[in-house]
Structure 1
Amino acid sequence: MKVSIGYEVVDGPWGGGNAFVKAMTSWLRERGHLVVNNLQDNDIDIIMIIDPRSHLPGYTYSAFEVMRYQTKINPKVVVVHRINECDERKNTKWMNFWLRAANYVSDHTLFIADWLRDLKIWHPNDGRPSDTVFNGGDTTVFYPRSNSKRQFGSSLRLVTHHWGGNWMKGFDVYQKIDQMLDDPEWRNRIDFTYIGNLPHGFEFKNVQVRPPLSGNRLGEALCEYDGYITASICEPGGMHHVEAGLSGLPLLYRNSGALPEYCQGYGQIFNGVDDFEVALTNYLENWEQHKAAMNAYPWTLDRMCKGYMEVIERLYSQREQIARKRHTFRNPLYLLAVAFLHVFARMYDFRRNILGGV
Structure 2
Amino acid sequence: MKISIGMKLQTGPWGGGNRFVSSLVNHLDTLGWQVSFDLKDPELDLILLTDPRLKLASCSYNHSGILHYLLHINPSALVVHRVNECDERKGTTGLNDLLASATRVADHTVFVSSWLQKLHLGQGMPVKSSSVILNGGNQSIFHPRGYVRWDGHTKLRLVTHHWGAIRMKGFDVYEQLDQMLAQPTCRDRFEFTYIGRLPDDFTFTHAQHIDPLDGQSLADEIRGHHVYLTASRNEPGSNHNIEGALCGLPLLYVPHASMPETSDTWGIPFTPDQFPEKLEEMYASYPRWADRMPDYPFTATRTCSAYVELFNDMIRNRAQILERRRLFRHPWWLARTWWQGNLEK
Give the structure-1-normalised TM-score.
0.92
Q: SS of 1:158's equivalent?
A: strand
Deviations 1:285-323 (A, max 9, x none): 111111011011000111111110111100111112211
Q: Is it true that 1:317 corresponds to 2:316 in the alignment?
A: yes
| Contact persistence 1:159–1:192 (CA under 8 A) | yes
The residue type paired with residue 329 of structure 1 is R
Q: Distance in 1 between matches of 2:198 and 2:334?
A: 39
Q: 1:283 to 1:35 in 2, by over 3 A?
A: same
Q: SS of 1:43's equivalent?
A: coil
| Contact persistence 1:99–1:121 (CA under 8 A) | no
Deviating more after overlay: 124-133 vs 63-72: 124-133
Q: SS of 1:58's equivalent?
A: coil
The residue type paired with residue 2 of structure 2 is K
C-alpha deviation, 1:133, in angstroms: 0.8
Paired positions, count: 344
1:27 is matched with 27
Q: Distance in 2 between matches of 1:4 and 1:12?
A: 23
C-alpha deviation, 1:183, in angstroms: 1.5
C-alpha deviation, 1:70, in angstroms: 1.4
Q: Is it true that 1:278 corresponds to 2:277 in the alignment?
A: yes
Deviations 1:26-45 (A, max 9, x none): 11011100000000111111
Q: Give the percent of matched residue pairs that are identical in Structure 1 and Structure 2.
A: 39
Q: Is it true that 1:305 corresponds to 2:276 in the alignment?
A: no
Q: Distance in 1 between matches of 2:67 and 2:92?
A: 26
RMSD: 1.7
Q: 1:215 to 1:69 in 2, by over 3 A?
A: same
The residue type paired with residue 307 of structure 1 is A
The residue type paired with residue 323 of structure 2 is R
2:15 is matched with 15
Q: Distance in 1 between matches of 2:14 and 2:306?
A: 24
Q: Distance in 1 between matches of 2:122 and 2:278?
A: 35
Pairwise mapping of residues 73-222 of structure 1 onto structure 2 (< 5 A)? 73-121=73-121, 128-222=128-222
Deviations 1:212-248 (A, max 9, x none): 1111111111110000011111111121111101000
| Contact persistence 2:104–2:126 (CA under 8 A) | no
C-alpha deviation, 1:274, in angstroms: 1.1
1:266 is matched with 266
Q: Distance in 2 between matches of 1:87 and 1:336?
A: 24
Gapped regions of structure 2 (runs ≥ 5): none
Pairwise mapping of residues 46-61 of structure 1 onto structure 2 (< 5 A)? 46-61=46-61
Deviations 1:42-63 (A, max 9, x none): 1111100111112211211111
The residue type paired with residue 115 of structure 2 is W
C-alpha deviation, 1:142, in angstroms: 0.7
Q: Distance in 1 between matches of 2:315 and 2:259?
A: 32
Gapped regions of structure 1 (runs ≥ 5): 347-358
Give the structure-2-normalised TM-score.
0.96
Q: Distance in 2 between matches of 1:207 and 1:38?
A: 44
The residue type paired with residue 10 of structure 1 is Q
Q: 1:171 to 1:320 in 2, by over 3 A?
A: same
Q: SS of 1:131's equivalent?
A: strand
Q: Distance in 1 between matches of 2:125 and 2:43?
A: 30
| Contact persistence 2:2–2:33 (CA under 8 A) | yes
2:337 is matched with 338
| Contact persistence 2:103–2:126 (CA under 8 A) | no
The residue type paired with residue 288 of structure 1 is P
| Contact persistence 2:178–2:206 (CA under 8 A) | yes
| Contact persistence 2:5–2:49 (CA under 8 A) | yes
